[in-house]
Amino acid sequence: MRAGVRGGLWLLATGCLVTAASLSMGAAARVSQAPDPDSIAAGMRIFRQKGDCQACHGWAGDGRKMDNQMPDGANLRESKLDREKVIVAIKCGIPGKPMPAFDRLAYSDGRCYGMTAADLQKRQISFPDPPATLQPREIEMLADFLFAKVIGQGPMDRARCIEFWGSDVEACREFPK
Ligand code: HEC
């Protein structure tokens, strides 16, 4: 009986170890693998619709904004930021620049640059309102999209445009063949 219990515990313990090992392998694989196409596609939709990033950054993310009333967004294709910094920029905005903060709780608890709304006020920092607030998962998908299709991808041209949209759409006509 005792042996049986001990055996069972041992099995349980190895089970946990195996699970932990496969989980960490999964995490490592995820870092080195390309993100899955579904999250890239979802990130692209958020960029164009819910987050309306394209209003200031242009559909291609190259800074040719879609809405002339909006501030000039950065050319994200030339951004030197790594994934972590891109995520901070999206969640927290960029103090001193008209880049909105998309995390609903951005300046509530010090999670953004250690500042709260009171600190912003003291330093006379303000941000434009974001078109919508975004969940952490949505921001991860945006980052997947940006690093797959925008950041570090070079200037938009016809071939990249067709790859970006998945076919030779109207928007690609401006780029010479
Ligand atoms: C109201 C206009 C506006 C909107 C909407 C907007 N941005 Fe920005 N964004 C800016 C401006 C302005 C900057 C800073 C430009 C500069 O550095 O001069 C910026 C900077 C950034 C940067 C930092 C780039 C770098 O290399 O420093 C990232 C990343 C970024 N935006 C991503 C996004 C994403 C993703 C969205 C949508 C969720 C978005 N932005 C929506 C205006 C906007």
C-beta 74 within 6 A of ligand 1? yes
C-beta 90 within 6 A of ligand 1? yes
Mark the ranges of the chain whose per-residue pLDDT is less than 50.
Answer: 1, 14, 16, 21-23, 26, 28-29
Task: Say if residues 143 and 83 touch (Cβ distance below 8 Å).
Answer: yes
Give me the residue label for tokens 């899955």: 36
- Please tell me the distance from the alpha carbon of residue 80 to that of residue 151, in angstroms, as a whole number: 8
Report pLDDT for 31: 54
CA dist list (Å): 105 to 46, 51, 87, 112, 152: 19, 16, 14, 9, 30
Report pLDDT for 159: 95
- Please tell me the distance from the alpha carbon of residue 60 to that of residue 42, in angstroms, as a whole number: 16
Judging by beta carbons within 10 Å of its beta carbon (0-12, 13-18, 19+), is residue 53 exposed, middle or buried? buried
C-beta 143 within 6 A of ligand 1? no
Q: Which protein residue's CA is at the shortest distance from atom 25 of ligand 1?
A: 79
C-beta 141 within 6 A of ligand 1? no
Mutational test site, ligand 1, from 56, 104, 141, max ligand atoms within 8 Å of CB: 56
Most distant CA pair in the chain, distance: 79
Report pLDDT for 35: 85
C-beta 132 within 6 A of ligand 1? no
Report pLDDT for 141: 98
